[in-house]
Amino acid sequence: MSIRLDGKTALITGASSGLGVRFARILAEAGAKVAIAARRTDRLAELARAIEEAGGRALPLGCDVTDASAVRLAIEEAETELGPIGILINNSGVTISKRIVDCDEADYDRVLDTNLKGAFLVAQEVGRRMIHHGLEGRIVNIASSLGLRPLSGLALYAASKAALIHLTKSMALEWARFGINANAICPGYIETEMNEDYWRTEGGRKLLALLPRKRVGEPRDLDGILLLLASGEEGRFINGAIIAVDEGLYLG
């Protein structure tokens, strides 16, 4: 069975690099019109050109997800150009690798504002519009396996993703009656352009040795679950699910 998203408009945040680029390409290949949002607009323009050269439709949007006014303006532009948003992939995120005693207030604000406040502001605005338009929408929040089980040195990131998991469940409860499904994907270790060098270091090799299959995932390992949760019919009975995609990282 091939999942198609023809005629749908999707918004992907954090689309200038890493998983966001992959998510935008996959949704576009499935037929969705994609609004791709991030602060780095030069990277967005390159991605939009690549999608359109492949026959898709893409709209790059400069947007700081921590700014409510910027979020509202970007979503208004997306809906004006592409139509009402029926799919949201809330993917913006940052991390800081520090022990708790070494974190300062600026570190806290940067991580929590982007990973939690930003996800809240975007989902809130999109959710309001889905309800207004009477759309049976799909919201997919990109959390992390660290939101299920934290590791030392990543407290702020883990806390933000744990909170995002519970925010997802609250969205699912509040918006179910409107036909809006909210779910979260919790990726494990996925190799992207941002971390690929790390896996060649001594620390990276030591971590690899601790993983169930001694390997990290690839962005394409998230394709299937992303399309399922973004779909109209195929995923219609999945709501409030928190799905770990990590090869059973914490089962042992």
Would you please indicate which residues are annotated as catalytic (active-site) residues?
157
User: Side chain identity at 98, as an amino acid letter?
Assistant: K
Length of the chain: 252
Nearest CA to 7 out of 25, 44, 32, 24 is that of 32
